[in-house]
Amino acid sequence: MAYSDKVLDHYNNPRNVGSLDKGSANVGTGIVGAPECGDVMKLQVRVTEATGIIEEAKFKTFGCGSAIASSSLATEWLKGKTVDEALSIKNTDIVTELSLPPVKIHCSVLAEDAIKAAIDDYKKKQGVPAAEPAVEVGAH
Count of residues that bind other proteins according to CB under 8 A = 34
Active site residue 64: no
User: Do residues 31 and 52 make contact, with C-beta atoms less than 8 angstroms apart?
Assistant: no
Supply the DSSP string of 9-52, one letter for each residue.
HHHHS-SSBS---TTSTTEEEEEEEEGGGTEEEEEEEEEETTTT
User: Which of 107, 114, 118, 119 does the annotation list as catalytic?
Assistant: 107
CA distance 85 to 13: 26
Complex with other proteins: residue 15 or 52, whichever CB lies closer: 15
User: Pattern 2-41, binding to other proteins, x per CB under 8 A?
Assistant: -x-------x--x--x-x-----------xxxxxxxxxxx
Q: What is the largest CA-CA distance in the chain?
A: 52
Query: Quick one: which of 45, 73, 110, 115 contacts other proteins (CB under 8 A)?
Result: 110
The span from the CA of 108 to the CA of 110, in Å, is 5
> Is residue 42 near other proteins by the rule CB under 8 A?
yes
> Interface with other proteins includes 109 (CB under 8 A)?
yes
Residues known to be catalytic: 37, 107
Which positions touch other proteins (CB under 8 A)? 1, 3, 11, 14, 17, 19, 31-42, 60-68, 103-104, 106, 109-110, 113, 117
